[in-house]
Each structure stands twice: as C-alpha cells, then as structure tokens.
Structure 1
C-alpha cells in the first residue's frame, strides 16, 4: 500500500500569545529589510506579539523606546531598501555580563522569549553566549529582586534563531548569506566600469574587495570579470608574489 509523504503545516494563530523580537546587528547588508519583513509577517500570521529591537544589541541593552511592537504595516514598502530600517550598532556593553543582564531584564519586561538575530559572526556569537547564560542571568535577576519567581518560571527558556547577514558568504549551513549576491553584483559593475580605462591606457588595476577571512567575493569576481590574478585569504600568496604578478602581466597581450 502506497504511503503519502508526511508534512508538517503550521496553521494560522498556532503560537498565539508568544513574544518574539527581531533585531539587526553589526555591519548592514542588502537584504536585511527583506528578512525583517519576513520575520514580522510570519510571526503575526502565527499569532505572536512581535517587536522591533532598534539599534541592534545597544537597543537590547538600553530597552525603553528601542523595543517597540511591530505591526503588519510596520514593514510595508521596505523590501526594496538597502541597509536596515530598524538600525544597527555595535555594543561594547553587551560584551560584559552586566550588559547582558540589562538585556535579559528588558526582554522579560516585554514578555519576549524568542529572538531573531540578523547579523554576522560577532552578532551570532553574542547571541549564542546570551542563550547559554540565560538561566544564570534569570537567577541573578531573581536574587536581586528584579523579577519575581513566577517570571523566572514563565520565561525560563530563551529561543534564538540566527539569520546570517554578511556580504562575505563566510558561514556554513547556508548556500549564500544575506547580502552576498548584491555585493558581488556591485563588484562586477565596478570591474566592468574600470576595465575601459585599463584598456585605454594599457594599465593594470588592482581591486580590493571585502571578505575578511573568506575569499568568496574575490574569487567569484575574478572568475566572472576575467581577472589575470587573484589573492584570497584561504591561499596566502608566496613571498615573491610581486615578481610572479609582474611576470604574469607581462605575458598578457593587449588588444591592438
């Protein structure tokens, strides 16, 4: 007897009453607004009470007006915009336990037990540390009288989902990180523009692109723009790279 493949369907309003917040952190990348929009409208569909945390981790630590409820119309007409409409900022205070303690208190005050972090390596690392410390942070808040025993029990678990907003494409578990495709598109546009001047004056241009410890942008841009040489961090150049580069360029025949 043939069996039908099972599937799980999440119905409208099945998570009614749960609090979820979304924030963007670290460097901005194209596509962050689309991700924020998807989180907000999916959360509303599920019946959650959804919040913006403005200015990244700084807003999480400061609380107050930085944590605001989001509605369906709050994310209208943002999908095409670059950067992030809810702001992003690096926060040294969150690196310390006192800062994370303030952040935990702000989440509990707003009834938030689910976080969506959109950011890069540092942002997601911070989110993971926050998750690991959550139980001890609540214990400390309880001992100080900042929260009640009922709150300690009700908000005992913090769920965090990470969306990688990084143009470098330097995270495993995803085919392409948020912002990579747009960054690559901009690089190719720049290469196409500068090649005309290179041909006109028989000159060589060296272009430096982002990537940190990941050479994805440099490698793919070099392949698509027919570059003669490429350096990537995964394969450090030899000590005599200047000579090798000059030798390679001398072999290139310029069009007549």
Structure 2
C-alpha cells in the first residue's frame, strides 16, 4: 500500500511539474495573442480583462503587404526543405551504408560548423551575395538557409538510415535491385517517419530564421521575420501592432506544428534522439 501511494504521489508531482513547465513556456505566446487584440493604450496595462479589438490587425494590413511576406516565407521554407533533403539523403545513405574511417570525423565537422556565430561570416557572405546578384532574392536566402541547416538534415537522416537493417538492402542487391530502386522502394519508405520529422524541422527552422533574412533582404525577398522586425522603430515599440504582426507571422507554423505533432514526435523517437 505504501509503495502504491508513493507511486501515485510521484505521478501527481511529475504531472504537476510537467504542466507548470508547459504553462511557463506557453505563457509568452498567450500574452502575445492577448496583446494583439488590445489597443496601444491597453497593451501597456498588465490586465487579462479587456475589450477585444481588431484595430491592430487593420493597421498592420493597411501598412504592410502581409501576403507578399508570407509568400516569400513559404517559398523560402519549402525550397530549403526540398534542397536540403536532396543533398542530405544521398550523403546520409553513403555514410550509413558505406562508411569509411573518416565518416565520423566528417559528421563531427559538419556539426561543429553550427557552433560558429553567424555574425562572424556576415560581411564576406554579404559581399559575395552582392557581387553575384543574390542579394535580396529568394534564391539567395534558400542557398544560405540550406547551408545552415544541412548539418542537421544530414545528421538526422543518417541516424534514421542507421536504424534500417542492412540485411534488407543486401537482399535487394542480390535480387538485382539497382541503387536507385534500393533507395526509392526500400530505404525511403522504411525511413518515412524520420524523413517527415526532418522535413518538418527544416521547415520550422527556415520559417523562424531572422538574422540572415534581416541582413540579406530589404523588400523583394523579405519573409515574415522581416515583416515583424519592421514594427520596431526608433520611436519605440508599438506593442499591440508588434504582437499582431508576430501573431500573423507565427500562426501558420504553429498550426502546422499542431497538426503534425504526432508525426513529428514519432519521427524524433524513430532514431533521431538517442
């Protein structure tokens, strides 16, 4: 009886702690959502009770072309996801099934590039992009985002491929399957949950990337992160308008994450996290 009571108490405390952490993490998003429906004067009042208004949303839409920013974000995120997977899948296939003595060193080197601060290479990248005509273009952001996220894509895809039994692929080779057939008809279907979670993660990372979009774009290719930054001015922060713009920017990716959370968790537990 004592052991059962102790387990129940532990379960209650663990559940309460989990809910407390979840509410603590979600509170800034909740506050942003509430502030978006306030007036500027109400936004400076720490109150949960107010009369909702769409005034800030009207001002945001009248001031900026939201759909243009959203279209750029969709094009950039989709392009980065597709391009990253096109490069990561062959690379991970080679490393997982035909490893060499330098495979682990290459993987560690790829991840070490994520430790380098972006501002350290901003100037050379900016000058290079300007000289070859990629500045303020969607293709320019797709390339730089792909280079940034490629180590994560390769690592995750590699871990998923390592979970696939090599005997199945060897049997397909004995039956006369080509490399293309082996990858398309065996490897990819068996790794689909992991690849789907990788694609979702790449999509989210690309959608939320702000540093490079703010520094490499001005008008033509500006995504929603630049849209949000435009509401910070020398005169100060207009909290209601900034919250409305932020809600419009994060809402699509939040809805996507909510709808695909089971697939994302399933893919991550498939082998990406050990």
Q: TM-score normalized by structure 2?
A: 0.25
Structure ranking higher in strand proportion: 1
Q: TM-score normalized by structure 1?
A: 0.26
